[in-house]
Amino acid sequence: MLSNFFSKNKLSQIEVDAESEKTIRAFLDDYRSESFPFGLVNIAQTINFVQTKKQLVINMELPFPCDGELLDIAEQLTTLVEQQVNFDVQYQVQPIRQHQIKGVKNIIAVSSGKGGVGKSTTAVNLAYGLIAEGCHVGILDADIYGPSIPTMLGRKGAKPTSTDGKFMTPLEVNGLAAMSLGFLVDDADATVWRGPMASRAFSQLLNETDWPDVDYLIVDMPPGTGDIQLTLAQQVPVAGAVVITTPQDIALADAIKGMAMFEQVKLPVLGIIENMSYHLCENCGHQSHLFGQGGGKRIADNANTQLLGQLPLDIRIREDADSGSCAINENSTGELALQYRKLARNVAAQLFYQLDMRSPTTAEVVEVKN
């Protein structure tokens, strides 16, 4: 989360300039964006101003992480009132669904109807994007048959430890708590299991890991819509799911099947992520839609859900995945990093708007007196 400017400047507070506060409040009242369709002020639990000699600090409590957008807003306000403006924000992420998994607030499933659409790569970058936006995150590799998270995190061959002999301690990689069957089973030992065995293995990974306090646990689901996917969707207390697809017709058809699977088990779909949406030429910047165009938006509209983001086909994403690095960790303000951070904000925002009781979309119960 953003730095606590208030505590650092507690001794040097002065009276807030009334005109600056009025201007800022008017700006915030009118502010709308993809993450804040109902406005920023409308979802803030608290908001107040602190003036120091060097800056004006806006203290807020918000229900989902959005550091990147707040930094952009702060820059606009700095120009508007001609003095340095910063946010001091506390994120109050609340559990959407009750469960018994200690330390975990919300579980978000990342799924795809078919393999090869970049599901695991997107899951890892989504997790790091949420961290960059200001919250605590874990990732669980549910792809029992082909766990790829260890490679993507650069921890291939690493083994988890245990402090009590009962619960495994997840590996910590650049602030991300991670667990995968790939940390327990060598690559040479093929996991050729039937559905019930795979389901039990995943259940152990989820329930027998000593998760730290995380706001979101990203679960990288196995591709497809078969028995194991249905079983996992039914057994895991998932708050919401996102579906990864490419614009290609065959991938879109499988993504529709994936959404139908979640509907069957009454699991909310937060939205669609269109991966490999376009290729950006390194020389001229021209966008080429190699796998088609507009498919993700079309199936999102047909399913009455959100298009959460459109990610490019970029060689750097593939290189990072193979080398165990991440664009967000290498350069948090780079072009690719900003796209993943925006995607992360959209996912967290949709979880709040669609399912949180504090959301402005939540219907109010009104008592009618006769």
Q: How far is CA 336 from the centre of its chain?
A: 15
For the four alpha carbons of 5, 1, 96 and 342, in that order, the dihedral sign comes to positive
CATH number of residue 344's parent domain:
3.40.50.300
Q: Count Cβ neighbours within 10 Å for each residue of 2-21 and write b for 16 or more, e otherwise.
A: beebbeebeeeeeebeeebb
191 with 75, same domain: the answer is no
149 with 178, same domain: the answer is yes
In order of 64, 193, 229, 240, 244, the CA distances from 233 in angstroms are: 24, 18, 6, 10, 16
Q: Tell me the average pLDDT across 13-26.
A: 85
Q: Let me know if residue 370 belongs to a domain.
A: no
256 with 172, same domain: the answer is yes
Report the pLDDT value the prediction gives residue 366, as an integer from 0 to 100. 54
86 with 114, same domain: the answer is no
**Which amino acid is located at 219 in the chain?**
V
Residue 9, domain extent = 5-91
Name which residue leads in pLDDT, 219 or 293.
219
Q: What is the pLDDT of the chain when averaged over all its residues?
A: 87
Beta bridge partners of 273: 244, 309
Report the pLDDT value the prediction gives residue 61, as an integer from 0 to 100. 97
Report the pLDDT value the prediction gives residue 92, as an integer from 0 to 100. 96
Q: In what order do the strands lie in the sheet with 214-220?
A: 171-173, 176-180, 137-141, 214-220, 104-112, 240-245, 269-274, 307-310
How much is the pTM? 0.91
Q: Among 59, 91, 123, identify where a domain stops.
A: 91
Q: Let me know if residue 242 belongs to a domain.
A: yes
68 with 186, same domain: the answer is no
Confidence category of residue 229, pLDDT binned at 50, 70, 90: confident
Q: Let me know if residue 365 belongs to a domain.
A: no
Give the integer Cα–Cα distance in Å for 130 and 66: 8
Confidence category of residue 83, pLDDT binned at 50, 70, 90: very high
Confidence category of residue 321, pLDDT binned at 50, 70, 90: confident
58 with 80, same domain: the answer is yes
258 with 287, same domain: the answer is yes
Q: Is the pLDDT at 219 greater than 90, yes or no?
A: yes
Query: Are 254 and 114 a contacting pair, CB within 8 Å?
Result: yes
Q: Let me know if residue 174 belongs to a domain.
A: yes
Confidence category of residue 230, pLDDT binned at 50, 70, 90: confident
CATH number of residue 57's parent domain:
3.30.300
87 with 109, same domain: the answer is no
Q: Among 56, 91, 126, identify where a domain stops.
A: 91
The pLDDT tens digits of the residues spanning 329-344 come to 888 788 889 999 999 9
Report the pLDDT value the prediction gives residue 368, as an integer from 0 to 100. 60
